[in-house]
């Protein structure tokens, strides 16, 4: 069983974007393990609510690649 989930976030191009994505995910109920600007990867605990996080990140102006 996976220890963490990895989502690919699109539209991040600065440290402010990383903070905004982190705030959005945290506001959806799960603090990310990490959000990496260079790779665009957001690492989350395995039990994270992906649908809620996707909705929050999208509402913040970013995308989640499938």
Q: Read off the CATH number of the domain in which 20 is found.
A: 3.30.70.100
Specify the pLDDT at position 66.
76
For residue 37, the enclosing domain spans 4-65
Residue 34: its H or E element: strand 34-35
How many domains are contained in the chain? 1
Q: What is the DSSP letter of 43?
A: E
pLDDT at 34 > cutoff 60? yes
pLDDT at 10 > cutoff 90? yes
The answer, as to whether pTM is greater than 0.85, is yes
pLDDT tens profile 16-31 = 999 999 999 999 999 9
What percentage of the chain exceeds 90 in pLDDT?
Answer: 94
Helix, strand, or coil (residue 27)? helix
């Amino acid at each position: 069983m996976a220890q963490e989930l990895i989502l690919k976030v699109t539209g991040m191009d600065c440290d402010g974007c990383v903070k905004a994505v982190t705030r959005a995910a945290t506001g959806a109920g799960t603090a990310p393990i990490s959000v990496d600007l260079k790779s665009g990867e957001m690492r989350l605990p395995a039990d994270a609510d992906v649908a809620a996080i996707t909705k929050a990140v999208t509402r913040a102006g970013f995308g989640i690649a499938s």
